Amino acid sequence: MTSIEDLRYTSEHEWVDARDGVATIGITAYAADRLGDVVYVSLPEVGDTVEAGTVIGEIESTKSVGELFAPMSGTVTAVNEALADSPETVNADAFGEGWLLKIQYTELPELLGAAEYQELTRA
């Protein structure tokens, strides 16, 4: 996986690792920490078409429910099936085994760099 500094980020606290037209997406450790203990993850189905900026899933924790937004338009090519049995992996390894889904895209939108995202979380 790409280093945390080389990932791109959204203002909705998602990280994006985009390579060769496929983006792996997860939530940041900051978001996972704010949510608390994740107990359930709802994701789109493989083959679903998603549109940038729309809600495509939910992450439920002991404290609240957070919406997952599509950072780009495209087709879902994979979802992290392991999260159905172990949603707490999102908290334990947000940037690794806690990835959420992969989207095949044709156009990558403007996303935040690591330094820009860090500034956002300090606000």
Answer yes or no: is pLDDT of 78 > 90. yes
Which is it for the CA torsion 18, 101, 120, 95, positive or negative? negative
- Please tell me the predicted confidence (pLDDT) of residue 113: 96
Write the CATH number for 104. Answer: 2.40.50.100
Indicate the pTM of the whole model.
Answer: 0.94
Is there a domain that residue 117 lies in?
Answer: no
Answer yes or no: is pLDDT of 45 > 90. yes
Is there a domain that residue 83 lies in?
Answer: yes
Is there a domain that residue 90 lies in?
Answer: yes
And the tokens for 32?
């996972």
Share of the chain above pLDDT 90, in %: 93
Instruction: Please tell me what DSSP assigns to residue 86.
Output: -
Answer yes or no: is pLDDT of 44 > 90. yes
Total domains in the fold of the chain? 1
The β-bridge partners of 112 are 9
Answer yes or no: is pLDDT of 123 > 80. no
Its domain, for residue 67, covers: 4-109
User: Maximum distance among all alpha carbons in the chain?
Assistant: 37
Is there a domain that residue 24 lies in?
Answer: yes
